[in-house]
Amino acid sequence: MWYEEFLNKYKAGISHEFLFYFNVRDLVDNSRHMDRYLYEEFIKQRGFAIVAFYDISRGLTFLEPGMEKEFHKITSNQMMDMLHVLPSKLFPHIDKALKNTKMALFIDHVEKIIPSGDMAGMTLEERMTLIWLCEWSVSPKISSVGSTIFMMTDNLADVSREVLKSSFKVEPVLVELPGEKDRRDYIEYLIKDKNIKTDISIDEFAKLSSGLSKKSIKDIKLKAEAEGIPITFEFIKEKKHSVLQKEYGDVLEFIYPEISFEDIGGMERAKNYLLKNIVDPILHGDLRRVPMGILLCGPSGTGKTLLVSALAKASGFNCVKIDMSRILGQYVGESEKNFKKCLLGAQSQQPVIVFVDEIDTAFRRGESGDSGVSRNIFSEFLQFTGNTNNRGKVIFIAATNRPDLLDPALKRAGRFDKKIPILLPDVEERAEIFKIMIKKYGFETDITDFMPFAQQTENYTGAEIETVVRKAYELANEDEVEGNLLSSEILNEAVKRCRPSTQQVEFMTMLAIRECDDKDLLPEKYKDVADEKGGTVQGAGQ
């Protein structure tokens, strides 16, 4: 819990100035917000003479009138009726109070007075404010008196990076969203009066509400009450999507899968691996078996993205996609700020599958000319994917058809440490894909054996077989053809008119095979190829 982390740092004398970030507006327990919680659990029993609150809109306020009088006494009444002035005028007087009596100072929305960005872009007012906040963190006088400063912000990336430099002693403390147990206890507290009906159990409600704050959970309960309907799976899903989209929709794409493993032809080895080494271990609490990250390698159109979506459906885990077009901004520091928010948003929904498509182009160390943005984002991504505390909680899955272009630092053990080849379907798998695609679109057919068509579509990907099926439906609906039944003749004609368009299939297949680090995930015919040091792969997809 964030409070224990703060208290340990305080007792160890590491700092007297703290920056709390992320879920700082939520209830800590069933009824208290952060400022009240800190007052009652920490400040009240330690004899602070003054407890003051500052934000740029309200100015400086005090917990009690007597504390305001004490502040004016220390500052020689120089700030009487001037508590709403800018920080540059107010902070010198706060400095005097912090050094002359035991004072607890809360500074909310700190990003509004020391915003992120280069020092050169800061106003004189912001620079002066930054200097005061930094100097307070290393002041021996403030430390000896026992004063403590609590700063708060929703997004750490919105705050000037200068304040967190090692030369100062401002300690950041992450306030996370409530875990499943905390959510369960809070839900139980909310519905104990039985004013609201639920069609799901408290445990199910707690699981479904992952990624939500207690405030959002309470909003779900209040909206259900107001609308006079019970809390159901669909009701929570709808409200949760609305909350998450509002909070993180600018930097994350949320995936709500509708297909399952049964809707995907072939890929049995990959499916079994994902079920046995991700879904089952996480559901049973054995996170040691879960890889830190998974890299899906193979030609375009073989179903890598579909596999991730089906995994999300099979596991019931939250699933998000990192789209760099949402991350990159036009202003200095905006891209890095967006990426930090993206990672925090993903982490808040654990257990969560985080999908990165075409990772070879999404994350690179960067080249000269982008002001170090790519390098900063890449470094942040390396640090996050290598954090073992996320094992089994944040499951990174990336897809690429060019693993050879991927930075070696990403492929090392402890990051994307399991490489799964997703190759062209074999003849039996192609027959299964034909059947699944016709069922998917609800096309009528009198075909019972798809093997003849599978034999005609050697080297076709699943996406290309889908194109053939859709072409057959076009032919079945032409004016000169009666009815819209997909007959053998029509499907044969569609196969003749469509040709594989995927480029460099053999080359991409070879790359995927060479990248694979587990022979059990390879088809039998490719296991010997994986040991070869050179050459090309022949007969891919046969």
Over residues 77-100, the pLDDT tens digits come to: 998 888 899 999 999 999 999 999
Of the pLDDT bands very low, low, confident and very high (cuts 50, 70, 90), residue 534 is very low
What is the mean pLDDT of the segment spanning 481-499? 82
Mean pLDDT within 428-435: 91
- In this predicted structure, the answer to whether residue 145 has a pLDDT above a threshold of 90 is yes
pLDDT at 537: 43
Percent of the chain with pLDDT over 90: 41
CA pair distance 458, 340, nearest whole angstrom: 45
Q: Which residue has the tokens 């040709």?
A: 499
Please say if the pLDDT value at position 524 is more than 70: yes
Q: Say yes or no to pLDDT of 184 above 90.
A: yes
When pLDDT is cut at 50, 70 and 90, the band that residue 474 belongs to is confident
Beta-strand runs (E) in 401-521? 418-421
User: Phi/psi at 291 (nearest 5 deg)?
Assistant: -65, 155
| More confident: 193 or 268 | 268
Distance CA 274, CA 287 (A): 13
| pTM of the predicted structure, to 2 decimals | 0.74
**Residue ranges of E strands in 286-445:** 293-297, 318-321, 352-356, 394-400, 418-421
| Of 240, 470, 198, 218, the residue nearest 348 (C-alpha) | 240
Tokens linked to 478: 């032409």
Average pLDDT of the residues in 106-135: 93
Q: Which CATH class is domain 180-248?
A: mainly alpha
pLDDT at 531: 63
User: In degrees, to the nearest 5, what angle opens at C-alpha 445 toward C-alphas 439 and 450?
Assistant: 75
Give the pLDDT band (50/70/90) at residue 155: confident
Coil/strand/helix, residue 251: coil
List, in sequence order, every beta strand (DSSP E) within 331-393. Answer: 352-356
The closest of 470, 475, 472, 474 to 491, measured between CA atoms, is 472
Residue 272 has pLDDT above 80, yes or no: yes
pLDDT of residue 254: 87
Q: At what angle do helices 87-100 and 65-74 cross, to 10 degrees?
A: 90
Mean pLDDT for 209-219 is 90
Residue 542 in this model has a pLDDT that exceeds 60: no
pLDDT at res. 187: 93
How confident is the model at residue 15, as a pLDDT?
96
Mean pLDDT of 432-450: 89
Asked if pLDDT for residue 207 goes beyond 90, the answer is no
The CATH class that applies to domain 427-497 reads mainly alpha
What's the mean per-residue pLDDT of the chain?
A: 88
Q: Which residues of the chain are in CATH 1.10.8.60 domains?
A: 427-497
Within 10 A of 209 (CB to CB), how many other CB atoms are there? 24
Mean pLDDT of 103-108: 98
What pLDDT does 315 receive?
Answer: 86
pLDDT, average across residues 236-262: 85
Q: Which pLDDT score is estimated for 194?
A: 72
pLDDT at 504: 80
Average pLDDT score over residue span 147-165? 93
pLDDT at 538: 43
Q: Read off the tokens for 104.
A: 């607890």
Domain at 2-175: CATH code? 3.40.50
Q: What is the pLDDT of residues 36-92, one digit of tens each?
A: 999 999 999 999 999 999 999 999 999 999 999 999 999 999 988 888 999 999 999
Homologous superfamily (CATH) for 261-421: P-loop containing nucleotide triphosphate hydrolases (3.40.50.300)
Confidence of residue 530 (pLDDT cuts 50, 70, 90): low
The pLDDT assigned to 144 comes to 96
State the average pLDDT over residues 7-29.
Answer: 95
